[in-house]
Structures are given as C-alpha cells and as structure tokens.
Amino acid sequence: MKETPMRIRTYAVAAVLAVAAGTAAWALVTPGAQAQSADPEAPPPTNSPLRVLAARDGLRIGTAVDTTALANDATYQKLVGEQFSTVTPENVMKWQLVEAQRGQLTWTAADILVNFAAAHGQLVRGHTLVWHNQLPTWLTSGTFTPAELRQILRRHIIDEVTHFKGRIWQWDVVNEAFNDDGTWRNTIWYQALGPDYIADAFRWAHQADPRALLFYNDYNIEGLGAKSDAVYALVTKLRKQGVPVNGVGLQGHFGTQYGFPGDVAENMARFTALGLDVAVTEADVRSVLPMDNPKTQAQAQGYSVLLQACLLTRRCISFTVWGFTDKYQWVPGTFNGQGSAALYDENFAPKPAYHAVQLDLALAAGTRRR
C-alpha cells in the first residue's frame, strides 16, 4: 500500500536522528509499533499515540514544552516523549532567557530540551528570534541608535541560530509583527528600523543555518481577514525579493466563547500556493471557566477545525499544541477566569479534545501523499 513508504521514511528519519544522538531509541521512535500486528501494512490502532497516527500522513505533531516541568514531572516527561514528534521550547529560547545580561549567553535549558528531542526522535521548532515581548531589560531600557539596534538584533540572531545550527527544524524567525487590523505593530524594531527588519532577520537566520526552515509566526491569522491579508502581503513581497522565508506559522489560540473560523484550509491554501509551508504552531482552545459539557465539546471542535485544515493541506508540515496539559498551561496566568485550554486536564487525563485529535489523525491516515 502507498502509506508504507511514507511510514518507513518517517521512521527512518527519526531513527537517523536517534542514532545521531547516540541512543537506541527505536521503542520511543515508534511507540505504537509494539501494538501492531506482524502485517507491516496494517494501520496502527486508532488509540495509538498521536505521533504514530500523524506519521502516517507525514505530519509532525508537537507540543510547547515547559522545561521546568520536563525536568521535575515524570508523567509530563513520559507524555512529551510518547505522544509528540516535535517540540517547541515555550520560553527558554526567548531573548530574555538566553541573554539576560548583555553578552552572557545562556543555552543550558534549551540545550537540555534539544538533547531530549534528539533522544526521542523528535524535531525542534525554535521559538522565537525576533519578538517585541520577553526581551531583556538591558535592551528595553537601554538607549540605542537605530544602527546600534540593527547590529544588536543581527548579533542575537546569528548567535542563537549558530548555537543550535543543524538541530532546529523550523525557526520562528519573526513573531507577531502585526496588529489585528493588519497594520504594523509599533514594536521596538518597527519604531527604529521600519518594516525592513523582517527581511534582514530572515537573511541573517539563513546565513547562520542555511538548512533550517524559516517561519513568520502570528496569531489571529488562521482564517481569512485583515491580519492574515497583511501577512499574506508580507510573505508575497519577501518571496518576490528572494528573502529566505520558508513558511507561515498559524498559532491557533482559540476560545470557545468566540467560535472558530470556517476558512482555515482556504487561508492555508493561499500561503502554500506561494511555495511556502504552513504549520499550526501554538494550538489551544480556552474557555471562560467553569467548564460544562457544551464548552468541552466546543473545545474538541476547535482543535479539529485547526487539525482538519492542516490535514487537508499537503504543505502543512506540523501541528503543535501550546502546552498539552492544563497542569502547566499559560492561559490562566494571562486571561483571568479562563483556562482548560489543553488536550489533557491537570491530572493528565485526556479530554474529548484529545480523542478528537486522535480520531482526526486516524481518519486521515494515508490520505496525504508527499
């Protein structure tokens, strides 16, 4: 059957990564393999880990990782390795954390995650090189000329991408550069450098690691609208100028109180028509608490809206959730009175949303040919 070469290829890539990491990680690379029959053509059982089901369609399924939880919580660590085939550091590659003091680069926490990923046959999404948030104080409170800021930004990108060279699959090079109405966000970078900092950032990242896939990443661009139009115009222009941009990340922060766009696949299609990859990079579906049955079902639908669009899009190469358990999820700390946004609850019990994702992957199995 046609899905066999895909599965072999996916597992082979993972095996190469595992071998490269000096580990015998076959059991981790193919966690569902034990449950499969002797027939190599047989599909994995529908209750297989998400990564096993996603692999049949050449899709990487990922999670943002809280590296403190990864170090201290055995159940969390087990599920990261078992369920996901790509990981994104939730915070520890951000500028504030890697260069809290100017010139003192700290990679320890991020290195641990990158090594964990290699040992578990996972790829890494690097997050994020250029953002207006979580910047070091020396940068935000300093006084710099535009020329100095440009050099500081260049130095940061080159330093970070060079440190992780060869170990990052996709970089979120520029994150959240637009307002919701499609105008430029008035960030430290835009104020000093105008929109040209974006092309520069991609060129510098490419120079430091020519093999990494370079993404523009933003929220509220999942469906068609003013903001996704602005991103579309940006990447169209960058491609025409020969700027090395490879993809667009649709973050996917949804809320059951808002409903979900019906045109995500259509939106993805216009990006891929430009020759770009797309990825769902930060999916979660929050609710105003307390939860009830309709919200729980709506949450599952929200994840499906994103995942089904991705599965329908040949060049949607990864689907990442922004934290897989409510035990360590960012929403309650940001949106007062909201939460329950993840696939698993605080006790690591899978919710209907998890089963919806699992079923979507199982149903799609083998329908994407790459």
CB of 281 to ligand G3I, least distance (A): 8
3-state secondary structure the chain: CCHHHHHHHHHHHHHHHHHHCCCCCHHHHCCCHHHCCCCCCCCCCCCCCHHHHHHCCCCEEEEEECHHHHHHCHHHHHHHHHHCCEEEECCCCCHHHHCCECCECCCHHHHHHHHHHHHCCCEEEEEEEECCCCCCHHHHCCCCCHHHHHHHHHHHHHHHHHHCCCCCCEEEEEECCECCCCCECCCHHHHHHCCHHHHHHHHHHHHHCCCCEEEEEECCCCCCCHHHHHHHHHHHHHHHCCCCCCEEEECCEEECCCCCCCCHHHHHHHHHCCCCEEEEEEEEEEEECCCCHHHHHHHHHHHHHHHHHHHCCCCEEEEEECCCEHHHCCHHHHCCCEECCCCECCCCCECHHHHHHHHHHHHHCCCCCC
Among all residues, whose Cβ is closest to ligand G3I? 330
Does residue 101 belong to the site contacting ligand G3I (CB under 6 A)?
Answer: no
CB of 370 to ligand G3I, least distance (A): 28
Residue whose CB is less far from ligand G3I, 26 or 107: 107
CB of 317 to ligand G3I, least distance (A): 19
Does residue 134 belong to the site contacting ligand G3I (CB under 6 A)?
Answer: yes
Residue whose CB is less far from ligand G3I, 3 or 90: 90
Looking at 90, 99, 176, 222, which residue is catalytic? 176
For ligand G3I, the binding residue among 67, 84, 85, 90 (CB under 6 A) is 90
For ligand G3I, the binding residues in 272-291 under the rule CB under 6 A are 282
Does residue 133 belong to the site contacting ligand G3I (CB under 6 A)?
Answer: yes
CB of 97 to ligand G3I, least distance (A): 8
Does residue 160 belong to the site contacting ligand G3I (CB under 6 A)?
Answer: no
Does residue 328 belong to the site contacting ligand G3I (CB under 6 A)?
Answer: no
Residue whose CB is less far from ligand G3I, 232 or 330: 330
CB of 56 to ligand G3I, least distance (A): 29
176 part of the active site: yes
> Which residues carry out catalysis?
176, 282
Instruction: Name the residues that contact ligand G3I, by CB under 6 A.
Output: 90-91, 133-134, 175, 251, 282, 330, 334
